[in-house]
Every structure is written in structure tokens, then in C-alpha cells.
């Protein structure tokens, strides 16, 4: 306890801690906490029975499952491909590199509805990609698969942009050292190159995941929105709102919030542990 008080009294030799903390907390409360409390109150106003009914209704569960599992799947895909893409952009120089580098940001910049319409057009059974897959009986648009495609699309830049600077900063001499010490290519990749990247990769993963969980605009165009099959949780919230079921919408929103918060907290804890070990260099 004594240690804790001294930490409070003198947190750092950097000046301005008190005022900075004050501003941060006020801003955080105004922008983040107050709306969340309002949301919780709204959800609570539904009463325990209704909350339970909404929470356990098959439609809610299906929507939550699709949203979170889809986001998880998309974030995993993005982690792998975003990582490779970042690697290619940093380590190799090829014609069109700058173009691809710029294109990575498109999912950021594009209005999500535009992305949704474009994806739906391409993956629809009569679209460019859709028509190629249709003969094999693979349908992407208007199925859960379509949801994944949209979620992967919007999440990709997060992984690339978090991993890229770390790769850039990593000196080639570490790889050369590994090679001269006799390590093969795979050993070098898995023991020398990847470990320093994991924290950044995890951050990118979380960002891509969070974005995918909350994604609405681009998904609804390609998902088909069939209840119990390809209906995502954010859409369910909108539907409830349109039916003037504010409390019901708030309950679904609250569920999403709790799950997301738990997952992100978990990942942050992992990351904090890694940082303590290797330093932030």
C-alpha cells in the first residue's frame, strides 16, 4: 500500500501528470463512459425478464455468434495475409510497390456502403468472382461467407499498418547474424523475425477484430441478412430500433460491448506481459 501511494504522489519525473490525467479522465468520461452508462441504464430499463428473453433468444445468439466468430475468423486471416503483405512491402522493391502500398488504405478511406456495394457486385453469383465460383456450387454473396469477405476487407489495413513500421525498423543485420550462426530460413523466420513482431501483430489483430465486430455498412450489402443465417448483431440492433424496441436494442448492444471489452482486455494483458519482458525498444 505504501508503494502504491508513493507511485501516486510521484508517478514520473515528467511534469504535468496531474493535469494530463485530469483532462484524460474528463474527456474519457464525457466521450466514452457517459454514453456507455446511458446504454446500460437503457438496457436495464427492460427489466430482468425481458433482458433474459432477448439474451437467450435464438436470433440474438445466432447474430452474436456470426458477428464474433466471423470477426475472429476475419482477423485471423488478416493477421496472416496482412503480415505477409507488410513483409513484401517492406523487404522487396518491385514495380507497383507504391501503388499497392497506397491501395492498402482504401478500406479505411472508402465509405463502407461503397465497399459493400462493390463487394456484393463482385461476389454475387453473376459478378466477376461469383460467376467463377458458381459452377462449383460455392456461393459467397448473401451467405455467412460473404460476411467474412466483407470483414476481411475492412480489417486488412489495420494489420498491415501496425506491422509495417516494426518490420521497417528491424535491421537486416539480425537476419544476417542468424544465417551466419547457421540457422536455416525457417528457423530464422520463426525464432528471430517473428517474435519481435508479435506485439504489433497482436495490436493489428485486435484492431481488425474490433473493426470487424462493429462493421455494419459494408456487410449488410453482401450478407443477404437472413435471420439466423447471415444476420449480424449490429444489423439486429438496427432492426430492433426500427421496431421502436429501444430496450431490446440496448440489451443486444450491451452484450456486444461486454464481450468485446472482455476480449480486448484479455489481449492487452498478454501484450503488457510481453512488453515487460523484452522492453519497448
Partner 1 sequence: MSVAVTIESIEKRFDAFAALRGVSLDIQPAELVALLGPSGSGKTTLLRLIAGLEQADQGRVLFGETDMRDLSLRDRRIGFVFQHYALFRTMTVGENVAFGLKSRPRAQRPEPAEIRKRVGDLLELVQLPGLDKRYPSQLSGGQRQRVALARALAIEPRVLLLDEPFGALDAKVRKDLRAWLRDLHRRTGHTTVFVTHDQEEALELADRVAILNDGRIEQVGSADDVYDHPATPFVCEFLGEVNKLPVKVVGSQAFFGDRPVLGGLSQNQGGQAALYVRPQHLRIVDDLPLALPGVVEHLRRNGPLRRAEVAVQGLAKRLDVDLASQVAPAIGERIRLRITHGSLFAAA
Binding site for partner 1 (CB under 8 A): 171, 173-174, 176-184, 187, 191-192, 195-196, 277-279, 281
Nearer to partner 1 by Cβ, of 180 and 265: the residue is 180
Nearer to partner 1 by Cβ, of 24 and 191: the residue is 191
- Shortest distance in whole angstroms from residue 143 CB to partner 1: 41
DSSP 190: I
Nearer to partner 1 by Cβ, of 9 and 277: the residue is 277
Q: Please name which of 44, 160, 48, 45 lies closest in space to residue 100, comparing C-alpha atoms.
A: 160
- Shortest distance in whole angstroms from residue 99 CB to partner 1: 24
- Shortest distance in whole angstroms from residue 90 CB to partner 1: 18
CA distance 148 to 78: 11
CA distance 217 to 189: 38
Q: Please name which of 244, 230, 238 lies closest in space to residue 256, comparing C-alpha atoms.
A: 238
CA angle 48, 50, 55 (to 5 degrees): 95
- Shortest distance in whole angstroms from residue 176 CB to partner 1: 5
Dihedral, 196, 271, 148, 69 alpha carbons, nearest 10: 140
Nearer to partner 1 by Cβ, of 87 and 246: the residue is 87
- Shortest distance in whole angstroms from residue 258 CB to partner 1: 34
Burial of 144 (0-12, 13-18, 19+ CB in 10 A): buried
Nearer to partner 1 by Cβ, of 196 and 224: the residue is 196
Amino acid at each position: 500500500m505504501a508503494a502504491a501511494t508513493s507511485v501516486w504522489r510521484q508517478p514520473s519525473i515528467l511534469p504535468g501528470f496531474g493535469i494530463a490525467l485530469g483532462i484524460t479522465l474528463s474527456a474519457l468520461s464525457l466521450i466514452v463512459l457517459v454514453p456507455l452508462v446511458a446504454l446500460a441504464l437503457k438496457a436495464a430499463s427492460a427489466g430482468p425478464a425481458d433482458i433474459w428473453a432477448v439474451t437467450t433468444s435464438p436470433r440474438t445468439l445466432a447474430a452474436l455468434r456470426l458477428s464474433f466468430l466471423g470477426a475472429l475468423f476475419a482477423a485471423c486471416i488478416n493477421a496472416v495475409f496482412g503480415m505477409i503483405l507488410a513483409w513484401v512491402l517492406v523487404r522487396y522493391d518491385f514495380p507497383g510497390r507504391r501503388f499497392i502500398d497506397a491501395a492498402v488504405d482504401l478500406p479505411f478511406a472508402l465509405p463502407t456502403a461503397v465497399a459493400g456495394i462493390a463487394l456484393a457486385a463482385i461476389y454475387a453469383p453473376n459478378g466477376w468472382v461469383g460467376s467463377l465460383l458458381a459452377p462449383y456450387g460455392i456461393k459467397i454473396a448473401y451467405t455467412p461467407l460473404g460476411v467474412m469477405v466483407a470483414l476481411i476487407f475492412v480489417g486488412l489495413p489495420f494489420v498491415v499498418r501496425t506491422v509495417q513500421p516494426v518490420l521497417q525498423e528491424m535491421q537486416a543485420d539480425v537476419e544476417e547474424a542468424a544465417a551466419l550462426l547457421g540457422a536455416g530460413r525457417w528457423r530464422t523466420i520463426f525464432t528471430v523475425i517473428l517474435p519481435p513482431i508479435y506485439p504489433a501483430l497482436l495490436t493489428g489483430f485486435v484492431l481488425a477484430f474490433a473493426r470487424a465486430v462493429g462493421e455494419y455498412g459494408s456487410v449488410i450489402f453482401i450478407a443477404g441478412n437472413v435471420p439466423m443465417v447471415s444476420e449480424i448483431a449490429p444489423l439486429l440492433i438496427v432492426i430492433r430500433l426500427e421496431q421502436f424496441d429501444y430496450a431490446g436494442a440496448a440489451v443486444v448492444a450491451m452484450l456486444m460491448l461486454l464481450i468485446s471489452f472482455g476480449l480486448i482486455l484479455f489481449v492487452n494483458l498478454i501484450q503488457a506481459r510481453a512488453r515487460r519482458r523484452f522492453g519497448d525498444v
